[in-house]
Structure formats: C-alpha cells, structure tokens
C-alpha cells in the first residue's frame, strides 16, 4: 500500500494518506521529546515529497510552535498548501488560570481556532478536532459552534479526539436533528497494547461511517523493538520512562512475536506493529511521528509489508485483553441466541438450558 493510495475519511469526500504525519514533536519547546525547526521542516518536506497529504497538529503542541512551524513552511511553499489536509485541535488550555482559555465552550473554541489560524498562517483548517471531552460544556454548544465555523468557511471538516463512544454518537445525533455539520472522523489511541477501542469506539465509528485515525500506534515507542528484557530505556534519552508500566513480560512476549514476524516478512518490529494498526477494520489513516528523516523512512516502509492471517492470529493471541461488561458477557451468551445455529459464519454450541424438543416446551 503506497502512501499515495489515498482513502476517503469515513463517509466524507476528504481523501487522505494511509499514514498521517503527526507533528507533536515539531519544535523543542517541550524539551527532549521535540525536534529542531530544521529537522521538523526536513521531515515535513520528505513526507510531502513521498506523496503524503495529511498533517496532524494541535494548538497546545510544543506550546503552539508546532502549528507555527507548519505555517512558516507553507508560507514559503504556498503552492503546496491546498494540496495538503491540515488537521489541528482545540480544547487544550495555554493560558494558566483562565477558565475560558481551554475547553469546548463557544468563547474558548473561537479564541483557540483564531489562534491556530494565525499560527498556521492560513484562512481555513481542513479538519478541526475537539481534542478532549469537556465534561463542563453542553455538547449542543460545541457542535453548534463547530458548525458555525464550517458555515463561515474557516473549517472544512470536524471530528472528535479522545471522546467516549456514546458522546460521539450523541454528537452525530444532534447534528442530524439540527442540520449541523456531522463528525467526519474520530481520533483514538489504538495499538497492539491498547485494543480496548475494539469494544465500542471502532464498532461505533464503522456503524456511523466515521473515519478512524489512531494515535500512538507504537504505544509511545514501547513497541518500537528497541526495548527488550536486557535493554531498558535510559533516563532522558527517550519518551519511554525507565519505570514504564508497559515494560513487562506481556509486552516483551509481544515484542518477541513482532520481531519473529518481522524476520519472516523482512521488517522491523515497529513496522509490523504499524502495519497491523493500519490494516485493522475501520482504520482510515494512522498517525505516525518522526524526529528524524531515518525514522520517517522506517515508518513509511511499514506500508510495504503484508501480514498473513497466521501473523494476525499470533499477534491477537499475544495482545489479548480483558473485555469489559457487557462485551465479556455477550461473547459467551451467543449460544442462548443461536442455539446451535450458524449465523453470518459465527458458529455456536447448542444451549444446554434450551428445551430438547417440543414436549419440553411450555
């Protein structure tokens, strides 16, 4: 799958690359996790040169510097601006002590979006995400304000990042009821070490026709393959903490499997993990990050490999997770519904509490 095999984002007509370039590390304002302006521009240019067209930022990333770097780049290369889908987010508060500096109320949204437009040096945002669920603001206020921005031409498409499934579903219901702009997509954490979105968020998105754009597909670098039982992260040299709770025997066994599969398909553990996420049901475009050109090239190469059904089964076994109610209950109750019948290729055992014949049925 080349980077130029574009996909429509959910049921919208917006075409995006299968890998989205995350720009959270553009700028050194957050310390060691960041990248110099020059390196950031090099990574951005290389991604665009390869045909990538989807950028992800946020007002709070590196204290606003991420958006500024993107804006400066396109001011110098204006012909590229309309060839690119620039996505950014609001909700994060950059004004200490100001209750309206962040969140998803009307005053906060308009303030934040205008700040993003100024830093990006553009007259519109292609995809505007509500970054977090703001429990203090009525959903009607958020959706109406986002609809206003679309009608004003300042925003092209809207989406929710890091919201519960029921909130996303309610938001789209409100949009349908009032004739407002509906959500085009959701952004969620999703990886072999974070599969809980498979319970509600991803099925909800598939049913409603929302695109899915996973973030942290390597769980912050834990699945990069760099860290094994005998090679722990060193303080200050990586985003992964020395005492990360994710560095445990379950993770090491999963990384071992990623490495084994990588040897079979000629890829690194990270490339296998990225490919797994991007080829999951419902996923449109996976957000990747890169501090250096070499990292970008390594990540993009994940699109060139093919995982077999056996590979996926092995990874599923190593990444199995405990489901929550009602999903854990429903997984075990289908014999009571199907009672030995096969429906949509799902087989079932006869239900032991069912009547055996008509004579037992009241």
User: CB neighbours of 238 closer than 8 A, spacing ≥ 6?
Assistant: 221, 226
- H or E segment to which residue 85 belongs: strand 85-90
What region, left, alpha or beta, does residue 209 occupy, with left being phi > 0 and alpha being psi -120 to 50 degrees? left
- Whether the ω angle into residue 126 lies within 30 degrees of 0, i.e. cis, is no
Q: Helix axis angle, 139-151 relative to 106-120, nearest 10°?
A: 40
Rounded CA-CA distance 154/117 in Å is 8
Sheet holding 54-56, edge to edge: 211-215, 185-189, 155-161, 125-130, 85-90, 54-56, 19-22, 286-288
Cα(148)–Cα(84) distance, rounded to whole angstroms? Answer: 23
Per-residue tokens: 221 = 């670098």
Examine the residue annotation and report whether 73 is marked as an active-site residue of this protein. Answer: no
Closest CA to 91 of 138, 142, 164: 142
Using CB atoms within 10 A of its CB, is residue 23 exposed (0-12), middle (13-18) or buried (19+)?
A: buried
In the 3-class helix/strand/coil scheme, how is 143-158 assigned residue by residue?
HHHHHHHHHCCCEEEE
d(CA 16, CA 23): 16
Of 6, 47, 61, 190, catalytic: 61
Residue 168 to residue 20: CA distance in whole angstroms: 22
Please give the positions annotated as active site.
61
């Amino acid at each position: 799958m080349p980077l130029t095999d574009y996909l429509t984002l959910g049921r919208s007509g917006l075409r995006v690359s299968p890998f989205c370039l995350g720009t959270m590390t553009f700028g050194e304002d957050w310390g060691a996790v960041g990248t110099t302006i020059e390196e950031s521009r090099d990574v951005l240019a290389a991604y665009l040169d390869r045909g990538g067209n989807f950028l992800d930022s946020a007002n709070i990333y590196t204290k606003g510097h991420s958006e500024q770097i993107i804006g400066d780049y396109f001011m110098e290369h204006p012909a590229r601006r309309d060839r690119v889908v620039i996505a950014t987010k609001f909700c994060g508060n950059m004004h200490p002590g100001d209750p309206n500096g962040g969140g998803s109320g009307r005053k906060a949204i308009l303030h934040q979006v205008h700040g993003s437009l100024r830093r990006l040096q553009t007259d519109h945002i292609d995809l505007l995400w509500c970054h977090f669920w703001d429990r203090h603001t009525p959903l009607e206020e958020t959706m109406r304000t986002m609809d206003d921005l679309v009608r004003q031409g300042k925003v092209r498409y809207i989406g929710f990042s890091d919201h519960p499934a029921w909130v996303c579903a309610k938001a789209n219901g409100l949009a349908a009821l009032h004739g407002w702009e509906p959500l085009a997509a959701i952004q969620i954490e999703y990886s072999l070490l974070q599969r809980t979105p498979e319970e509600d968020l991803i099925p909800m998105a598939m049913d409603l026709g929302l695109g899915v754009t996973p973030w942290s597909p390597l769980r912050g670098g834990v699945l990069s393959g760099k860290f094994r039982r005998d090679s722990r992260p060193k303080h200050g040299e990586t985003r992964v903490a020395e005492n990360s709770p994710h560095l445990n025997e379950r993770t090491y066994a999963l990384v071992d499997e990623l490495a084994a599969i990588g040897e079979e398909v000629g890829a690194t553990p990270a490339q296998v993990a990225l490919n797994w996420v991007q080829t999951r049901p419902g996923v449109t475009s996976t957000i990747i990050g890169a501090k250096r050109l070499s990292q970008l090239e390594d990540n993009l190469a994940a699109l060139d490999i093919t995982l077999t059904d056996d590979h996926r089964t092995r990874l599923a076994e190593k990444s199995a997770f405990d489901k929550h109610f009602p999903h854990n209950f429903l997984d075990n109750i289908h014999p009571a519904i199907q009672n030995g019948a096969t429906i949509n290729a799902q087989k079932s055992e006869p239900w032991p509490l069912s009547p055996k014949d008509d004579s037992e049925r009241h």
